[in-house]
Amino acid sequence: MLDRAYRLLSSWSYFSEDCDRLTAVFSRLKYLQHLINSTVKSFIASNVEDPQPTPVPKENPTVRIVLPFKDQDSADLVRKQLKDLSLKTHTIIQPVFVSDKIQRELKVHEIKPPIVNQERAIY
């Protein structure tokens, strides 16, 4: 959990707050306090001494475009074109495909006769 928090959180203050939360959770679960503290200290020591810098995510704006879904081939083509456009504009463009309800696609061709008297129907 410490490794996950270290990789996901963007600043040291957020990581410190998350360590405090994890310490509180494990204390409530009756873990030994010295075990919790030694685990956190050893994790911090191993990652502070680690010469590999943590990757800083680039802050490219993300744009999502809602498009109708027709078939998989056209969806793949649109994704490829939007990826090329993303590289040119330095923004992340993500397509969001939506499809119509299945009732619109499937139409009932058989006309069913209405039930004349529903009060005395036997099932």
Burial 27-52 (b: 16+ CB within 10 A, else e): eeeeeeeeebeebbeebeeeeeeeee
Joined together, the tokens standing for residue 11 give 């600043």
pTM recorded for the entire structure: 0.38
List of E strands, 79-123? 92-98
* DSSP helix/strand/coil, 112: coil
Q: Which residues of the chain have pLDDT under 50?
A: none
- Residue 111 confidence (pLDDT): 67
